[in-house]
Amino acid sequence: MTMLMHERSPFDRTPDSPRERAGPIPAAAERATIKQAGKFVLAVLLVGAALAGMIALEAAFFVSRLSH
């Protein structure tokens, strides 16, 4: 009978999970996470630009060799 009286379903998260006890994420930690993600994205874009530049230089070299 007590199972029928619960307001939550058995699949809901428990209110005393470690994440809920810790409270909200501090703003500084969230800002640091966003900053770290931004640095990663910037690094990926720079590597992509470097690869595109190398491919463009090789293509220019081969095109110049074809015209002679």
pLDDT at 14 over 80: no
pLDDT tens figures, 15-67: 566 656 666 667 888 888 999 999 999 999 999 999 999 999 999 999 988 87
In the 3-class helix/strand/coil scheme, how is 2-61 assigned residue by residue?
Answer: HHHHCCCCCCCCCCCCHHHHHCCCCHHHHHHHHHHHHHHHHHHHHHHHHHHHHHHHHHHH
